[in-house]
Amino acid sequence: MDDLVVVQFIQKKLKERKSLVLDILENNGVTSLEAYKQLMGELDALNYIAQELSGLLEQQERMND
């Protein structure tokens, strides 16, 4: 399987999960402070992973040029 296809699949899943987490946060779906902390931690992790994947893609593009 092509590396780019794998990265695009992961980016799509990250975006979907981030959208779901944001939806929960925006629509009063948080039931406790612990749930809020968990969702915020997950959001931070999703953003970090997305940023790292983008960095890897940029690095790969520079190597291919």
User: Among 1-5, 38-42, 48-52, which is the least confidently predicted range?
Assistant: 1-5
Cβ-based burial of 9 (10 A; exposed 0-12, middle 13-18, buried ≥19): exposed
Please report which confidence band the pLDDT of residue 65 belongs to, taking 50, 70 and 90 as the band edges: confident
pLDDT at position 1: 57
Mean pLDDT across the chain, nearest whole number?
93
The reported pLDDT for the residue numbered 11 is 95
The predicted-structure confidence for 12-42, as pLDDT tens digits, reads as follows 999 999 999 999 999 999 999 999 999 999 9
